Amino acid sequence: GKLYNTKKTRYDAIDLAVEDTDPAFASNMANEARAKVNELAMKLIRNSQKAVIDGLKKSVADKTTYLKFLNDSLYNLRKRHNIFNTASQGEAYGTSIVSLEGKVQNLSSQVSLLKKLDGPVDSINVLAAKLAGTRNQLKTLKQNIKDYNEGYPSIISIEQERKEFNNQLLYDKERLSKLESAYSSDIEAVHVIQQAEVPVIKSRPKRSFLVIGAAFLSFVLFCLWVILQDQFNNNWKEQFRDA
């Protein structure tokens, strides 16, 4: 029969036993077998880790390239639509247009009133010039707001996509760093609970079996002796009677 045995314990551990006539050889065989299992397991684990690391490296490189593309697209959109901050710029535009429209109405009313009252020409000209300048500012502001409204949805979309991609890229980089650290570390795949040691008691033959076997053999021999003795006595009696 085979001189080794492997079994799974109730604690999900692997129990490996080797038998040989040489106790030291049996101990070395068990330890070498465990070392070989550890070597094979480490090879499988490292191959798996290497495949994951290579995949993550490619993913990080692809995400980095795409993130650069998003940054370039965002820069070009902001430059084209003159948008530098979607949150504060929109609020500033809203405040400015209300202020300028109010200023235009106020100056327009003053100019109309002075003209009706035949006010000083110089004053009317000054107010008219201010009104024209304010109207130009309002016109420019409205054009800026139009550009802002046209570019706002695309910029918001790219900003959100860039944020998500950047978070995913940071996560992949952190995961890659941990995997590379684990890959380069020297960690055993098999956790040894107990090393195989040179046995001091034979595993076979069992002493109890020897005792039982010897007793059974003695019983059989005794029975044979009794039968032979009885047969011998019967033969001797028959010969004596015939004589």
The mean pLDDT of the chain is 82
* Dist CA 151 CA 139 (whole Å): 19
> What is the predicted pLDDT for the residue at 203?
60
Of all residues in the chain, what percent carry a pLDDT higher than 90?
Answer: 23
Q: What is the pLDDT of residues 170-199, one digit of tens each?
A: 999 999 999 888 888 877 767 666 677 777
90: tokens are: 């929109």
Q: At residue 243, does pLDDT exceed 70? A: no
Q: At residue 10, does pLDDT exceed 90? A: no
Q: Which pTM was predicted?
A: 0.56
Q: What is the pLDDT of residues 12-42, one digit of tens each?
A: 777 777 777 777 877 888 888 888 888 888 8
Q: What is the pLDDT of residues 37-83, one digit of tens each?
A: 888 888 888 899 899 999 999 999 999 999 999 999 999 998 888 88
> What is the predicted pLDDT for the residue at 115?
83
Sign of CA dihedral 154, 155, 158, 164: negative
Domain boundaries of the chain, sorted by first residue: 4-184, 205-243
Q: Which of 63-67, 138-142, 207-211 has the least mean pLDDT? A: 207-211
> What is the predicted pLDDT for the residue at 168?
92
**pLDDT tier at 91, thresholds 50, 70, 90:** confident
> What is the predicted pLDDT for the residue at 22?
75
Residue carrying structure tokens 């090879």: 43
Smallest Cα–Cα separation from 31: which of 2, 1, 13, 4?
4
Q: At residue 235, does pLDDT exceed 70? A: no
> What is the predicted pLDDT for the residue at 216?
78
* Dist CA 62 CA 43 (whole Å): 29
